[in-house]
A and B are shown apart, each in its own frame.
Chain A
């Protein structure tokens, strides 16, 4: 039952999953090869340099830059505490006395001779990188990161928003073509990743957030609901850093599209288990799609192991059509003509013929407008 989406999207029930966990700057990796880790375990840590404040002393003290240099009480590299005297100047025979104290604790990074400006670097902030996915450390790149490996289910969505998070899967008892309403959200969903339905109303998203859900996995979303939830409209498909309480992953597209039966079956099999999800999406060369990872194959023993190699189009293969007039419909390929054909727009392109699963009608569709299913 190996099914792969082309181009790019993957639904792999039983596969080997590798996640590279990297620090944004050099630090230390705190795990060893062979070590078991949980998803919330810290695997690497580093110190991010603090913000740099440029203190424009001549303007702030009302004196010339050379007078600032003459009056400096600290030198480059000195550590200072908030309130420490940085510069002092006496003018007009000592009648005018000005002083400048450090507004924050930090280190003097530079003193510009010509401008009299002083760079004050605030203390470094510690950051940590968590495992995100439970598994075994397979590789350590000293000071930079590590690779975690495990076996489980890997599902790519088509679009998402929000950062990576982990929680327990909670599949809602609703049909795949159901629009999820506030009344469908159970009272106790704290920490849960809610899954199911064709799409959510804005009110349902807000209720899920209020009740503590950490993520949503559903078939589709209305453009205006997404804008309402984010508080602004997205311009380009480059996401993952949104300041939202719940990570949101859609598997089919925008509008009203039922969650696919295949994904629902996998989610049902993993209901209640821990999952790791990430909404980051980048629809460009080197594309990134949102992901759902469940590091368990329990209940899926009847399925064979799958690789993530892409498959091509073949007669008999199931496809999903991704463009009007058959947008969202499923079909089975019946013919793959070799030559280009003219389509309704007047363009010449390579096509396929497929039988729609809903009406059994055989339709002609550009090959660019299907995904293997």
Chain B
């Protein structure tokens, strides 16, 4: 197979998910790189098949049938693909790649000393590497030792990441955490005969003793300290080691993966890590600040790239493990409360009815809404899941101030660092929605409204959805050919719905007052009215320069309070959404009539 990007013309990529294996064919056409075909089949990691390649081959066969291109060689064990040659360009592929989240993905436990310092850094490293963090333990945990030990033993993580202590700092607390892990002796999920993989990324002075303590129960790998000083976070080495262990310990012991790994010259990536690479690479190349949410049945992943105080792009990923649209839908109900879900509905419904309907969705997760009222209820749940998962993301996506800042004596005693939130919605350029409820909403405007409401977008933000959850495939492809991956991302993956224009203004400005004027190429095309939501159609795909002029000295649209913002945009399907509802959205401003008005104003029927 070829991995030199100049010679690639046909690339087959799979994402082996928990339930479905999705295969995509990417090809260099006369118009550039495009997704040309798609096939899918149920994932086969569980009994009775217990071999991931069976599902993958079924997906390949579907692509072969639809595309009329012969891809398979018949040798399913060693080399299942025909390789394209100069005299046989209409057959075969140049390269096969894959991502995987089958079998529950990569599950990790992390430990640190202080929750908002090393433990949090450990969490960020694990999440950024595509893991689900089962537990984040800190040395100051309030539970008794035996309770913590019981918890660790119960978890069965794939990998444990131990951090703690700046270099030259505390040794004893880190060693105590190692003792706890020794006492618990957790077994890895796969490969019962294997030792548990443990990565130590803490105080270098503790590395030797931690390795000694854990030598009998684990394979310990020591990497650079994740937090060498209070102000510096060094996630790279820990993330790379997590990927290495993922391949050598987790993937290779999952059913059939030894065969799958032999089919591709490029390491199989955890699905969320591939999505993260796609998002961060796109943000970097386009110089945009990006937020991406993938809302699934059980979990919601949030990815973001925001600039830190030094102007550098910082990538973050979080997983809200129990916020989802089917298996976890009742947990959204539990965390948000029925009233918060009901507030988005344009019709009256009893709370008990909401609760029973969502419980029934939980126990029959594959059922779909048949009536508009039922659809709107699911979309209301989605708004709350997005809101809660963004809250979670904000708490972990933090920047650390540089060493040039003086720290007070109280900061030293409290071990407080200059943490600041990276997520700044006013500076967000692009939001990407993914997952069935967003990607398959019957009307694109419904998806836009869910993200506008759930994230409470402010300023000027482009709203898009991922058409068929192609980002994992593009993420792993971007590791070989970033330009081609981005071309497909823009042309075939992203559906550009609209640009939201949502100014922020003082609560003293009453509803009905005009607060922002919109000009396009110098001509007035509309105004944002306080309390109102409306759309302005623009020609799709034709770049235009917008001039956004506050009509009140205290209105902010992103250029500073009272200042005019100039912004070049390429409009999507629905042009502009002007949102005059002030932020944060207040519970008191909701009523069935208001929601009916919002739906009608945006043409959501």
Binding site for B on A (CB under 8 A): 7, 51-54, 109-110, 112, 114-115, 117, 119, 158-159, 222-224, 233-237, 253-255, 281, 283-286, 322-325, 327, 343-347, 349, 365-366, 368-369
Contact = CB atoms under 8 A, between A and B. Distances in A.
Given A236-B330, A237-B362, A347-B368, A324 B357 contact: yes
19 contacts: A52-B146, A54-B145, A112-B175, A112-B179, A119-B179, A223-B352, A223-B356, A224-B352, A233-B334, A236-B298, A237-B362, A253-B359, A254-B356, A285-B19, A322-B360, A323-B370, A347-B368, A349-B368, A368-B368
Task: State the majority secondary structure of interface residues on A.
Answer: loop
Q: Which of B18, B149, B327, B331 has the most CB of A within 10 A?
A: B327
Given A254-B359, A323-B369, A158 B327 contact: no
A107 B226 CA distance: 36
A114 B370 contact: no
A335 B364 CA distance: 23
Contact of B363 (A7, A235, A254, A365): A254
A236 B179 contact: no
A293 to B, nearest CB: 21
B91 interface: no
A115 B184 CA distance: 18
A53 B146 CA distance: 6
Given A236-B327, A323-B360, A325-B371, 4 more contacts: A115-B179, A322-B360, A323-B368, A324-B373
Q: Which 5 A-B pairs have the closest CB atoms?
A: A346-B442, A235-B331, A254-B359, A255-B356, A223-B355
Nearest to A287: B365
B143 to A, nearest CB: 12
Given A254-B356, A323-B367, A366-B370, A51 B19 contact: no
Contact of B334 (A235, A324, A345): A235
Contacts of A54: 145, 176, 179-180, 183
A114 B213 CA distance: 10
B179 A324 contact: no
B182 A110 contact: yes
Nearest to B144: A53
A344 B371 contact: yes
Contacts of B213: 112
B322 interface: yes
Contact of B367 (A52, A114, A368): A368
B146 A114 contact: no
Contacts of B364: 158, 253, 322-323
B339 interface: no
Given A51-B149, A346-B443, A347-B442, A324 B371 contact: yes
A235 B172 contact: no
A345 B183 contact: no
A210 B596 CA distance: 49
B370 A237 contact: no
A49 to B, nearest CB: 9
B330 A234 contact: yes
A322 B372 contact: no
Contacts of B266: none
A254 B360 CA distance: 6
B374 interface: yes
Contacts of B149: 51-52
A283 B362 contact: yes
Given A52-B146, A283-B362, A285-B46, A110 B371 contact: no
Interface in B157-183: 171-172, 175-176, 179-180, 182-183
A110 B146 contact: no
Nearest to A234: B330
Nearest to B149: A52
A16 B215 CA distance: 48
B359 A115 contact: no
B362 A51 contact: no
